[in-house]
């Protein structure tokens, strides 16, 4: 099916709100059918990987077949090590699916939801919306990945200053985006996106997971995803990424 923006969005009003704080939560971003289509596929047709930070540069990634082969004790040991490291330094653990990498390696057919979503986010309609919303007329692409936070998953405070998506990529992160596809989430279950004024701030702005939402914020900014509680009965589904500039590249379809 076609993934479409909600035609009733008041882009001018949203742009005015965004201009004042450089971050915004938008409800009902897509048509209802589009959002339901994405959620259904995230829940039932996604080969989730597990990732966590390490002491070195590269994160540790467990592919779906590796996850299946791990025993319960091995998984417990991984989480215990990750949680121990998180108490005193930067750490994260969650499930994800690398949409762009899968497309580039021909692992996703054009008929798949992930392929269609990447095409939509990089298409004329969404990028025009993003440019109008942010007043940044040099945005040329988005690099989405799917994410799933389950019990014990979190993302410690950071500011998204790592510009490069991959080696040799000359694009620059301008705005982080989180498309939420989580229904009926209780604040008691954690998983909130949190914004901080400083690394040791005594207060934060908190956004609860939601369904058919767009959270967008200019980077760098200090933020985190709070730990999903061990008693959370389900996962937090989203599609995340960055709106990017790329010096020397343009979008003729957007009038460049």
Q: CB neighbours (10 Å) of residue 162?
A: 10
pTM of the prediction? 0.95
User: What is the residue-averaged pLDDT of the chain?
Assistant: 95
Q: Which CATH architecture has domain 11-254?
A: 4-Layer Sandwich (3.60)
Helical residues (DSSP H) of the chain, grouped into ranges: 11-21, 32-44, 64-69, 72-86, 99-104, 113-121, 124-134
Spatial separation of the C-alpha atoms in residues 66 and 72, rounded to whole Å: 13
205: closest CA among 179, 224, 229, 183? 224
Average pLDDT over residues 221-235: 97
8 A C-beta contact, residue 142 and residue 206: no
Model confidence over 136-177: pLDDT tens digits? 999 999 999 999 999 999 999 999 876 555 556 778 999 999
Model confidence over 74-108: pLDDT tens digits? 999 999 999 999 999 899 999 999 999 999 999 99
Model confidence over 193-211: pLDDT tens digits? 999 998 889 999 999 999 9
Model confidence over 36-78: pLDDT tens digits? 999 999 999 999 999 999 987 789 999 999 999 999 999 999 9
Q: What sign for the dihedral angle of Cα 211, 15, 99, 149?
A: negative
């Amino acid at each position: 099916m076609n993934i479409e923006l909600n035609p009733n969005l008041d882009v001018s009003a949203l742009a005015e709100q965004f201009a004042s704080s450089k971050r915004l939560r938008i409800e009902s971003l897509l048509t209802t059918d589009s959002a339901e289509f994405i959620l259904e596929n995230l829940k039932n047709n996604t080969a989730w990987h597990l990732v966590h930070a390490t002491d070195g540069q590269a994160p540790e990634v467990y592919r779906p077949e590796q996850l299946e082969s791990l025993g319960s004790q091995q998984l417990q040991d991984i989480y215990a090590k990750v949680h121990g490291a998180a108490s005193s330094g930067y750490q994260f653990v969650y499930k994800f699916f690398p949409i762009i990498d899968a497309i580039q390696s021909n692992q996703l057919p054009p008929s798949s939801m992930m392929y269609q979503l990447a095409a939509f986010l990089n298409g004329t309609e969404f990028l025009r919306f993003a440019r109008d919303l942010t007043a940044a007329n040099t945005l040329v692409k988005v690099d989405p990945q799917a994410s799933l936070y389950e019990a014990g998953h979190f993302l410690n405070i950071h500011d998204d200053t790592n510009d490069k998506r991959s080696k040799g990529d000359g694009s620059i992160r301008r705005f982080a985006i989180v498309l939420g596809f989580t229904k009926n989430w209780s604040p008691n279950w954690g998983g909130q996106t949190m914004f901080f004024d400083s690394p040791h701030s005594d207060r934060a702005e908190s956004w609860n997971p939601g369904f058919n939402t767009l959270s967008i914020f200019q980077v760098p900014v200090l933020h985190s995803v709070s730990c999903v509680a061990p008693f959370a009965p389900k996962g937090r589904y989203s599609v995340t990424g960055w709106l990017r500039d790329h010096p020397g590249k343009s979008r003729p379809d957007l009038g460049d």
